[in-house]
Structure 1
Amino acid sequence: MPLRQTYRASRSLVLTASSTLRSNRLPNSTNAFYSTAKTANANPMYANVDPAYMLEDGTPDYLRMILTSRVYDVCKETPLTDAVSLSVKAGANIQLKREDLQPVFSFKLRGAYNMIAHLPPKLRKKGVIACSAGNHAQGVAYSAKYLNIPATIVMPVVTPAIKYKNVARLGSNVVLYGNDFDSAKKECARLSAEESLHNIPPFDDPYVIAGQGTIGMEILRQTDVSKLKAVFCAVGGGGLIAGIGAYIKRIAPHVKVIGVETFDADAMRQSLKERERVTLNDVGLFADGTAVRIVGEETFRLSQEYVDDIVRVSTDEICTAIKDVFEDTRSIVEPSGALSVAGVKRYVADRPNEDHTTASYTAVLSGANINFDRLRFVSERSRLEEGGEVFMNFTIPEKPGSFNQLYKFIQPRDVTEFSYRYCPSQGSAGIAKIYCSFNVKDRKKEIPSIISSLENNQMSGEDISDNELAKSHARYLIGGRADIADERIFCFELPERPGALGKFLQGIESKWNITLFHYRNHGSDIGKVLAGLSVPSQDSEKFDEFLSQLQYPFVEETSNPVYQQFMKS
């Protein structure tokens, strides 16, 4: 039977089921994170819920709502795949729930469509409105187009063009208003009241929560429940984890439901700890899909009851998780989409004495709407977090041959960046300061060995890999102006292959004093080196002959205005 027919049959069966289902509600989870929820009072948001879906205590029966959800009109049952490489690295059996494969590349379509599809004809005719700068906007726009309902999406003026153009492409009216989300949200509320448009919230609504809960239903059907130990979900407003938790804790209460947040956007963790919703003053925006200052009222109530734990992760851990997902799936997920994977890794790493190989963990990949210009940052930070790349500050003698000698101590490791600028005050003291980054396999063993070799040769080195200033800013600012007589600047091209940089240094430093040097590996087949050399005028002819024998393509940049303005005093 086709998938849609199967769920329509299920919906009909559940709606006509015996009322005993309503009273067969599990007690509060004994594994709840901080506390369990009290019986809820009547909530205005329940007014739109069909009475057939209400329990005797006045709260929605989410099991029934999930089983009868309308999501499969537009959504597909996404695969649950084994993360083979990640499982080996983490020492645990990890599976990925591929919500990044939905039509709008995010799970948000489930909740948005389920709510809109349950609206009465009178409300549908007037149209719907939503405020979002991301995945929820695309979910509402896609749903409205499928149901032939007019939709208005309010987005901040600063929303990237790729996002609002995609929403417009889906047929929705896009209103750009305000410089931030709060301003756009107020405008959305005004338009909703003025034009009688029904507001579709991103997470705090029973139908939205039930739509997201269908992910939990699929997970339990796709895996061996007896071996499933925990499901990890990204947490923003709480709709995803509330829906998944509401289903899993009814069907398989032994399975832990674990949320993942960033250290700078942990509204749910703080709220659960305080037993009331906490409003954050500011939130980090790297994982923008979960950058929420306050969680939903209903999602918080459900999370109190069903969430077992909250794990927090750093930006660098998220970047590494994006890379992990890519290596297993060849797909690139957004930062919020990789939160769950970062959370699994952190959870396993924090419990080294447990056997993680006998059970399985599921991470929900919640979305893949990432801005392309973020990929360079993700690539750089993932290498650092894994310990595969290190940043070091070196001090070496200011004399010919020192550069090449330093490079030999680093070999055979691949150098990813090399920066130096002659400083008169340091040069007169006979020292040179070098910034360098290179790849290692075992940071804890290799770095002490390199430093020891340096110290035996009147050099020194310091590992600055964990220095945030070095990672975010200083690496791009190494150098400056210098007034050096007879300095000439060249940009050389050399093949990116083992030993090429060392051969270049050996050839050039043996005859001429290096005054500036910058090399960075960009993953290309050709590496570019910017080098400054002190060439006395009487040696110009000899130097030109040397360049012709060097066999590397080059361009002289001594007259380049950028050099004249920013590197020369």
Structure 2
Amino acid sequence: MNSEATQPSKDLLERILTALVYDVAIESPLEAAPKLSRRVGAQVWFKREDLQPVFSFKLRGAYNRIAHLQAAERNRGVIAASAGNHAQGVALATQKLGCQAVIVMPITTPLIKVEAVRTLGAQVVLHGDSFEEAYAHSQALAATEGKVYIHPYDDLDVIAGQGTIGLELLRQMPRSLKAVFVPVGGGGLIAGIAAYLKRLQPGIRIIGVEPVDADAMSQSLAAGHRVRLERVGLFADGVAVSQVGEQTFELCRKHVDEIVLVNTDEICAAIKDVFEETRSVLEPAGALAVAGLKAWAAREGVTAASGNLVAILSGANANFDRLRFVAERAELGERREAILAVTIPERPGSFRAFCELIGQRSITEFNYRLADPDRAHIFVGLQMASRAEVEPLLARLREEGLEALDLSDNEMAKLHVRHLVGGRAPRVTNERIYRFEFPERPGALLRFLDCMSRGWNISLFHYRNHGADYGRVLAGIQVPPEDQEAFQAFLDALGYRFVDEGANPAYGLFLA
């Protein structure tokens, strides 16, 4: 590699070594995770950024950026856009440094996060339903009011502040560090850590972790240029970024070894893993690295001789009411639970015979509904030692003449159908079934219903909000054949994310 190519990394290394973070940040501990280590088969460590004063690593970069401002810049005040952790980092930094801060947050931001920022002395401006809308408004305010914009990730001083985590890691574990797993949103955290570690110990593997439905960095690295996602999954809201930064992308392209993708259930299982080790409850993005570490370790077949694996626990600003959803999905993510749909004959003794086939497995959920005079459908959750037990059980059920289907990876079944079993309506005709997501804010459900009131009858409706910024709806709408084209035009203009679930087997078995 030529000297010109290495210059940005050299500059960043100097920035990391001279970063001003410890006026507000702690050197977070590196703690062993013995329970997870035994299950994974290698030594696992947690880098506890969830123990920072604002329960997230974000204050490192925010403080370093603001501390390096000239006095005249600081006197103008700063502005940022954020739905949570970056906002609190900026607010704490400006409180410490004695300057004014304006934070633009989406209207959908939970009140607990808004109040946390206000408590730190920042002015909060609520604008838009998404981070993108809040970001655009913050840019406009910065231009008109002359404030300094503090970017959440695409700034070298911010990246350097986050890179001090890498500095600490080498001080805490100078030898035998095999791989570091880092959550990826805009890329500031992994860019800083990777630039430092790869410069000093290039043999350490740097592995980013993204949700499967918010994989902007993975897609960008594969394409060789920054990709903008049309839709971004919102469960791990701390990394829900539609496009990574320019500088973070270039640094990741040079220094990151690979990106691992994980799903919502795996994230929930990782939150449970961390709780069992530490009794701390992480936010979904905060547990992302643990989920990726587990997936990578299973794929690679690691052993005790593989070296030390470190997961960055990046944040613990969890909404309390989200925990019910996490608990509901954790065992599925650990692949220790399976959800099955089984059709049994409606005759005396068939129900008991089914239970005998299940054997001694613990039942986590059981829903039974008569489908017609000859058949009944069962929606059942079963504890498993591993998901490898599912196929033999399905084969055994089918050998006994029972129709059986694995719904463990069926999002509609897990999110909605399990709460609706028994809701069949045989007289409903021309029903179309969709899953919708819409921004959760006061009056949002009423607005959604107003949008749906266009002359088509709603035949099924199930709404769930599990503490996220978006509500989830499963809706059945009766649309006559002659209205199909008009209905499709209505959906396209609605402005909400939607998925057609008409072909979903869970719908056919339990609701159609």
Residue in structure 2 matching 1:95, options 42, 45, 68 = 45
2:318 counterpart letter in structure 1: I
**Structure 2, gaps ≥5 residues long:** 427-512
1:467, 1:184 → 2: CA distance? Answer: 33
Residue in structure 1 matching 2:340, options 392, 406, 409 = 392
Shift of 1:481: 6.1
Secondary structure of 1:435's match?
strand
2:341, 2:295 → 1: CA distance? Answer: 30
Secondary structure of 1:73's match?
coil
The 8 Å contact of residues 409 and 454 in structure 1, kept in 2 or not, is answered as no
CA, structure 1 residues 66+473, in 2 after alignment: closer, same or farther (shift >3 Å)? same
Q: Does 2:375 correspond to 1:431?
A: yes
The 8 Å contact of residues 336 and 367 in structure 1, kept in 2 or not, is answered as yes
1:394, 1:400 → 2: CA distance? Answer: 17
CA, structure 1 residues 177+460, in 2 after alignment: closer, same or farther (shift >3 Å)? closer
Shift of 1:368: 1.0
Secondary structure of 2:241's match?
coil
After superposition, the C-alpha distances for 1:311-359 in whole angstroms (9 at most, x for unaligned) are: 122222211111111111111111111111111112222223x545341
1:59, 1:464 → 2: CA distance? Answer: 47
Q: Does 2:76 correspond to 1:116?
A: no
1:450, 1:275 → 2: CA distance? Answer: 43
The runs of at least 4 aligned residues of structure 1 exceeding 6 Å deviation read none
The 8 Å contact of residues 207 and 260 in structure 2, kept in 1 or not, is answered as yes
Name the count of aligned residue pairs.
426
Shift of 1:59: 7.3
Secondary structure of 1:72's match?
coil
2:367 — aligned with what? 419
Alignment of 1:234-249 (within 5 A): 234-249=183-198
CA, structure 1 residues 137+421, in 2 after alignment: closer, same or farther (shift >3 Å)? same
2:79 counterpart letter in structure 1: I
Secondary structure of 1:61's match?
helix
2:384 — aligned with what? 440
Of stretches 137-146 and 304-313 in structure 1, the one that deviates more from structure 2 is 304-313
Q: Does 2:422 correspond to 1:479?
A: yes
Q: Does 2:262 correspond to 1:313?
A: yes
Alignment of 1:203-242 (within 5 A): 203-223=153-173, 225-242=174-191
1:182, 1:235 → 2: CA distance? Answer: 18
CA, structure 1 residues 400+295, in 2 after alignment: closer, same or farther (shift >3 Å)? same
1:253 — aligned with what? 202
2:455 — aligned with what? none
The 8 Å contact of residues 338 and 390 in structure 2, kept in 1 or not, is answered as no
Residue in structure 2 matching 1:410, options 342, 345, 358 = 358
Shift of 1:361: 1.0
1:376 counterpart letter in structure 2: R
Q: Does 2:284 correspond to 1:335?
A: yes
1:183 — aligned with what? 133
CA, structure 1 residues 264+464, in 2 after alignment: closer, same or farther (shift >3 Å)? closer
1:467 counterpart letter in structure 2: N
Residue in structure 2 matching 1:105, options 35, 51, 55 = 55
1:142 counterpart letter in structure 2: L
1:390 counterpart letter in structure 2: A
1:12 — aligned with what? none
1:323 — aligned with what? 272
2:337, 2:223 → 1: CA distance? Answer: 40
1:143 — aligned with what? 93
1:398 counterpart letter in structure 2: E
Shift of 1:298: 1.4
Shift of 1:462: 3.4
The 8 Å contact of residues 410 and 450 in structure 1, kept in 2 or not, is answered as no
1:477 counterpart letter in structure 2: L
Q: Does 2:396 correspond to 1:452?
A: yes
After superposition, the C-alpha distances for 1:108-139 in whole angstroms (9 at most, x for unaligned) are: 00000111111111111121110111110010
CA, structure 1 residues 271+465, in 2 after alignment: closer, same or farther (shift >3 Å)? closer
Residue in structure 2 matching 1:275, options 215, 224, 231 = 224
1:284, 1:365 → 2: CA distance? Answer: 20
Structure with the greater alpha carbon radius of gyration = 1
Residue in structure 2 matching 1:192, options 125, 142, 147 = 142
Alignment of 1:73-88 (within 5 A): 73-88=23-38
CA, structure 1 residues 417+253, in 2 after alignment: closer, same or farther (shift >3 Å)? same
1:449, 1:243 → 2: CA distance? Answer: 48
Aligned-residue CA RMSD in angstroms? Answer: 2.3
Shift of 1:152: 0.5
Residue in structure 1 matching 2:213, options 260, 264, 268 = 264
1:360, 1:94 → 2: CA distance? Answer: 6
1:482, 1:178 → 2: CA distance? Answer: 39
CA, structure 1 residues 443+208, in 2 after alignment: closer, same or farther (shift >3 Å)? closer
**Structure 1, gaps ≥5 residues long:** 1-26, 29-37, 41-54, 484-569
The 8 Å contact of residues 91 and 357 in structure 1, kept in 2 or not, is answered as no
Secondary structure of 1:418's match?
strand
2:16 counterpart letter in structure 1: I
2:424, 2:246 → 1: CA distance? Answer: 57
Secondary structure of 1:381's match?
helix
Secondary structure of 2:351's match?
helix
Shift of 1:406: 3.0
Secondary structure of 1:350's match?
helix
Secondary structure of 2:316's match?
coil
Shift of 1:191: 1.4
The 8 Å contact of residues 128 and 151 in structure 1, kept in 2 or not, is answered as yes
1:467 — aligned with what? 410
1:461, 1:64 → 2: CA distance? Answer: 61
2:429 — aligned with what? none
1:285 — aligned with what? 234
Secondary structure of 2:378's match?
strand
1:377 — aligned with what? 325
1:431 counterpart letter in structure 2: R
Shift of 1:58: 7.2
CA, structure 1 residues 58+385, in 2 after alignment: closer, same or farther (shift >3 Å)? closer
After superposition, the C-alpha distances for 1:1-50 in whole angstroms (9 at most, x for unaligned) are: xxxxxxxxxxxxxxxxxxxxxxxxxx58xxxxxxxxx947xxxxxxxxxx
1:394, 1:249 → 2: CA distance? Answer: 52
1:344 counterpart letter in structure 2: L
Shift of 1:387: 2.5
Secondary structure of 1:71's match?
coil
1:246, 1:462 → 2: CA distance? Answer: 47
After superposition, the C-alpha distances for 1:367-405 in whole angstroms (9 at most, x for unaligned) are: 111222222222222211322222122233324444344
Q: Does 2:116 correspond to 1:163?
A: no
1:148, 1:192 → 2: CA distance? Answer: 19
2:418 counterpart letter in structure 1: R
After superposition, the C-alpha distances for 1:472-530 in whole angstroms (9 at most, x for unaligned) are: 222122102689xxxxxxxxxxxxxxxxxxxxxxxxxxxxxxxxxxxxxxxxxxxxxxx
Taking only the aligned residue pairs, the percentage that are identical comes to 54
2:419, 2:336 → 1: CA distance? Answer: 20
1:171 counterpart letter in structure 2: G
1:183, 1:480 → 2: CA distance? Answer: 39
CA, structure 1 residues 222+404, in 2 after alignment: closer, same or farther (shift >3 Å)? same
Secondary structure of 2:321's match?
helix
